[in-house]
Amino acid sequence: MKQMKSIALCLLLLSPAAMALTLDEARQQGRVGETLSGYISARAQDSETQALVERINQGRQQQYQALAQRNNTTVAEVGRIAGQKLIERAAAAGQYVRGINGQWMKKDP
């Protein structure tokens, strides 16, 4: 019985959800960066990063839509305001942001 519990625990720890890339990890590894639109963009082209970007951006889209409706504005305007704030917060060393010129740059601490 004890061996079955150990096997179950190992399977749980190795599940895709337990091994999923987090936004903080992706930022630290330079795999994603913030953009002026309020959404993250992938710098790496692997499937794990792409899935993370899609999941995060879908969540942000829903949040921006709710805020836009409450404040009688557009989703794009909410995203633009959020993008400015997110880029300002990306000041931790090694985090990337996409500038007005479309180029990626590392933010200084």
Residues 66-96: tens digit of each pLDDT: 999 999 999 999 999 999 998 888 755 568 8
- Identify whether 8 is part of a domain: no
Supply the pTM of this predicted model.
Answer: 0.76
- Identify whether 66 is part of a domain: yes
- Identify whether 62 is part of a domain: yes
Range of the domain at 60: 23-106
Tell me, what's the pLDDT at 8? 44
- Identify whether 5 is part of a domain: no
Tell me, what's the pLDDT at 102? 86
Contact status, residue 84 vs residue 36, Cβ threshold 8 Å: yes
Query: How many structural domains is the chain composed of?
Result: 1
- Identify whether 82 is part of a domain: yes
- Identify whether 16 is part of a domain: no
Tell me, what's the pLDDT at 29? 92
SS (H, E, C) the chain: CHHHHHHHHHHHHCCHHHHCCCHHHHHHCCCEEECCCCCEEECCCCHHHHHHHHHHHHHHHHHHHHHHHHCCCCHHHHHHHHHHHHHHHCCCCCCEEECCCCCEEECCC
Is the C-alpha dihedral spanning 58, 64, 70, 74 positive or negative?
A: negative
Provide, rounded to the nearest whole percent, the portion of the chain with pLDDT above 70. Answer: 76
For residue range 25-53, what is the model confidence (pLDDT) as tens digits? Answer: 999 899 999 999 999 999 999 999 999 99
For residue range 15-31, what is the model confidence (pLDDT) as tens digits? Answer: 444 457 899 999 989 99
- Identify whether 37 is part of a domain: yes
Here the tokens at position 89 are 């917060």
